[in-house]
Amino acid sequence: MPKAWLFLHPVGKLLFREGEAMKILVTGANGQLGKTIGRCFMEDDLVLTDINSLDITKETVVFEAIQVIKPDVIINCAAYTDVDKCEKNQSQAYEVNARGVHNLALGASKIGCELVHISTDYVFDGKGIVENGKRRPYQEMDQVNPKTIYGKTKLLGEQFLQETIENYYLIRTAWLYGDGFNFIKRILMQGYSNETVSVVTDQIGTPTSTDQLARLIKVLLKEKSYGSYHGSCEGSCTRYEYARAIFDRMGINKSIEPITSKDLKQLARRPSYSVLENKRLNEKGIFKFNHWEEALVEYLEELKTL
C-alpha cells in the first residue's frame, strides 16, 4: 500500500494526509494507467481521484481541489477515450479532453506544481511519414493532423497545456493496456470461447503497457526534463500479429480470421499506421522502453497469477 491514500469529496475537501513524500494528485485513477500509477508511486502521498470525486471539466472544483491539496505534481490520466462515442458526443469529448486539461493547467500554474498529461497517436493522420519512398514512425515534431473528434480534442488539450504552463510533461502513447478491460483481455475471452476471432490486418502500431509508461513518468519527474515526448514500447506489429502473439504465448490453439478495418464498420476512422518513435527519449538517454513483445510476456505472466 502507498504511504497514504488521499481521497476527495466532490467539493474538493482533503480527507486524510500523512508523511512528507512527494504529493501527487492523480486524475482518472480508476482507469488502466491510473491504477498502475497508484502502484508505481507507492512511496509517495497520492490523491487518487476519478470523475465522481474530481470532475476536471468543472473549473471551480478543480481550482479549489488544487488549492486545498497543493500537490507537487498532477498526473492527468483522465480522458474520454471511446473514439466512436467521441464522434457522437463531441461536446463531452471537448470538455474532458480539452477544457479539462486547460483547467488542470491553469490550476497547476497558480501554485507552481508540475503537470503530467497523457496524449495519443490520434493527433496524427494515421498514415506515417514518408521519406525517400519509405514510411517511418511519427516523431515529436512531425506535423499533427487529426482525423477524428477524439484526435482533434486531444490535440486541443495539448495546445492548452503548452500555452498555459511551462513545467509540463506531455507524453503521447498508443495501444495502451493495463489493469482493466483491453484488447488483450477481449482477445483472450474470445480465444477461450466458441466465438469466432476476427482481427484486422491493416492497422499497424505498438502495444504499450501501462507499467512501462508509469516507469517513464517516474523517470521524467526525477530528471525534471520538461517538454513533449513519445512514449510507447519499441517495435511494431499489426493488430492481427498482436492477437497471434497473445494466443501463442497463452497456448491457445485457435485460428484467427484476418479482416480489414472496413469490415468492422466503425464510426470513427482508426489509424492505419500509428507507430510512434521515442526520439526525444532516446536522444536524451533517460529512459528506454522494452520491446512490445517483452512487455506483453511480462503482462501475460502476471495475468496467469490472477
Q: Are 31 and 9 in contact (CB under 8 A)?
A: no
Catalytic residue among 122, 138, 150, 177: 150
What band does 236 get if pLDDT is binned at 50, 70 and 90?
Answer: very high
Q: What domains can be seen in the chain, in order of their start residue?
A: 4-181+206-235+274-291 (3.40.50.720)
- Percent of the chain with pLDDT strictly greater than 90: 90
Indicate the residue type of 249. Answer: R
Q: Are 240 and 201 in contact (CB under 8 A)?
A: yes
Q: What CA–CA distances, in Å, run from 288 to 78, 152, 154, 207, 284?
A: 25, 29, 25, 15, 10
What band does 211 get if pLDDT is binned at 50, 70 and 90?
Answer: very high
61 has pLDDT over 50: yes
Quick one: average pLDDT of 207-212?
A: 98
- Of the two residues 3 and 295, the one the predictor is more confident about is 295
Other C-beta atoms within 10 Å of 112: how many? 11
Indicate the residue type of 269. Answer: R
Q: How far apart are CA 34 and CA 30, in angstroms?
A: 6
Look up 226 and say whether it is catalytic.
Answer: no
Given this model, what pLDDT does residue 14 score? 40
Residue pLDDT, tens place only, 132-149? 999 999 999 999 999 999
Residue pLDDT, tens place only, 92-102? 999 999 999 99
The strand pair at 23-27 and 45-48 is best described as parallel
Indicate the residue type of 303. Answer: L
Comparing 8-17, 35-44, 183-192, the range with the smallest average pLDDT is 8-17
Q: Are 77 and 29 in contact (CB under 8 A)?
A: yes
What band does 21 get if pLDDT is binned at 50, 70 and 90?
Answer: confident
Quick one: average pLDDT of 112-141?
A: 96
84 has pLDDT over 60: yes
Residue 226 sits at φ, ψ, to 5 deg, of -70, 160
